[in-house]
Structure 1
């Protein structure tokens, strides 16, 4: 017969109102904190390198890289807010109801902006591959800047609206002291699921399927042993190899993103905390956070400019005059 796990209070001085927490072995607690803190630090550091690289070096000021910059800002923010999730690993929240509500709202804002950035990246690759002759006129730095700013603004306004009840009365749904709970209306939750997951994912998949078809046609047109239609050849001539390579790289980023994000949203369909986790925080949440750490790693393997810029940053050559004009491509 199993014996119940030993528990203790989050706030021992408030016997009647304090939440309870599981008492874990000291070695387990240390291990959890080290692993999660390392992921948080690595995520913030790697994405900060991406932000500095694209912001500083003028050669990287392209529409596609500006979208990567916006995504890196989202991922960097994830690395920062992971500190709050680490606090929750002991089942207790000590920072107050207002901070709890702001933290949850920020988490939703970052999630929505990340999805929005992925949609914009898909649109960028769609135009670059499927309409290469008009890419530079349709996709400009100014236009991408406006789109990314609009994406962040809409994310802030939208999530502030669906979290309005929690923001008006922080801690309204907490059942005891030391708990961090926010509740969204059921109808708003269903609408949010379609608006921030099902709809965007459908758009991303449709656009990238089209990109894949055109990329395959381009590859066949470049093969002298395969006869292709004249319009395939004319389109293929105007598609740069660099655009195809960027499409592959960003395709990997999108596939990894969807793989890590899907469990996070699927769990909301059947109830939160349905997947096994080593802490009180569900595993699908940590999987979503870990995706933010993977993106810069993908860049390191696929983009030579990222490694070159990291070297310049690490050796402080970035501080030299006119370093922004360095040739890193």
Structure 2
């Protein structure tokens, strides 16, 4: 038996338990390069960008607005994706899993909860912008800091409880092991078809529908407001620059909303479409990477192009936030 294994040059995670041990991953150089290099870079960039958002919103008092509270929650969830989930995903695909099935279940619990919280935060941002643009007079009374903090807390709580349902099959496997499920040295997700369908509806179809409907409504109102401003400018002054400025505002609203929806759908659609055909989509590292890549893009989309964020980054990198009373700096 030993000569047979040696002839095939097969390495096992647990050589002393050949009957139940998984084989060590032997990756093609392209997959190894992608996992080791590209995903590592994405992880680092995700951590750095979201950490800058967290420090900016937390430190400067002027940025403690209801909208920025949601951005802070989004940055925290995306920060955890880069800090925990991406490195563990690289480890899971490039080496044997020696941490045990319990830690594997914990990993998949976090892999469910944290990205789902990001989705919930994006929905909250959609609602916030909907009220701000479509009902501006009611915004100060409807969207308050206390209500937003409560919604953020409920978002984290809901997806924390929901993720337990998502990995219930994994928990059942821990209590009553199934020898046909996996081998030692591998961390594989286990869930039923019913769980996959429920997850598809609750974490993709419904959120996508809500986000698209809200942003389409915001887009329509933004275009109407831009045209109204252009008409007002034309009525007051027939100067050409005013008209051009109004057109640019209209195009900017369309471009920003288009990027938001397109990025979300581009990162999440492939993974969930694959889920319809192949339940164990965790085996496709490209789809998992794309799923997590949204956490790297979120700080770019939502904050990088805000003047206050660029100013805050400058103060952080130059260590001016260490000065006394820097938290009261005028950021707007």
Q: TM-score with structure 2 length normalisation?
A: 0.83
The structural deviation recorded for 1:90 is: 2.0
Asked if 2 retains the 8 angstrom alpha-carbon contact of 1:97 and 1:170, the reply is yes
Task: Note the residue ranges of structure 1 that are not aligned, 5 or more in a row.
Answer: 229-240
Distance 2:23 2:192 in 1: 27
Indicate whether 1:217 and 2:224 are aligned: yes
Asked if 2 retains the 8 angstrom alpha-carbon contact of 1:67 and 1:121, the reply is yes
Distance 1:22 1:159 in 2: 28
Q: Secondary structure at the match of 2:11?
A: strand
Q: Secondary structure at the match of 1:20?
A: coil
Q: How many residues are aligned here?
A: 308
**Among residues 172, 181, 184, which one is paired with 2:188 in the alignment?**
181
Indicate whether 1:253 and 2:260 are aligned: yes
Query: Which stretch of the first structure deviates more once superposed, 198-207 or 311-320?
Result: 311-320
The structural deviation recorded for 1:273 is: 6.3
**Among residues 276, 283, 288, which one is paired with 1:285 in the alignment?**
288
The structural deviation recorded for 1:226 is: 9.8
The structural deviation recorded for 1:18 is: 1.1
Instruction: State the superposition RMSD in angstroms.
Output: 2.9
Query: Which runs of structure 2 are paired with 1:76-225 in the superposition (5 Å)?
Result: 76-80=79-83, 81-90=85-94, 92-167=96-171, 169-170=173-174, 172=177, 174-224=181-231
Distance 1:59 1:225 in 2: 32
Matching residue of 2:77: 74
Query: Which stretch of the first structure deviates more once superposed, 106-115 or 136-145?
Result: 106-115
- Pick closer, same or farther for the CA change 1:261–1:143 going to 2, 3 Å: same
Asked if 2 retains the 8 angstrom alpha-carbon contact of 1:113 and 1:155, the reply is yes
Q: TM-score with structure 1 length normalisation?
A: 0.84
Distance 1:249 1:299 in 2: 10
Matching residue of 2:328: 325
Distance 2:157 2:17 in 1: 41
The structural deviation recorded for 1:10 is: 2.2
Query: Which runs of structure 2 are paired with 1:20-59 in the superposition (5 Å)?
Result: 20-24=23-27, 29=32, 32-59=35-62
Distance 1:301 1:135 in 2: 24
The structural deviation recorded for 1:7 is: 4.6
Distance 1:290 1:196 in 2: 17
The structural deviation recorded for 1:249 is: 4.4
The structural deviation recorded for 1:170 is: 3.0
Residues 80-122 of structure 1, C-alpha deviation per residue, up to 9 Å, x if partnerless? 2111101022263221111100000111111221111111111
Asked if 2 retains the 8 angstrom alpha-carbon contact of 1:8 and 1:23, the reply is no
Distance 2:28 2:288 in 1: 23
Task: Note the residue ranges of structure 2 that are not aligned, 5 or more in a row.
Answer: 1-7, 236-247
Distance 1:29 1:212 in 2: 42
Residues 162-182 of structure 1, C-alpha deviation per residue, up to 9 Å, x if partnerless? 323423553845421111123
Asked if 1 retains the 8 angstrom alpha-carbon contact of 2:263 and 2:294, the reply is yes
Distance 1:250 1:96 in 2: 44
The structural deviation recorded for 1:30 is: 5.8
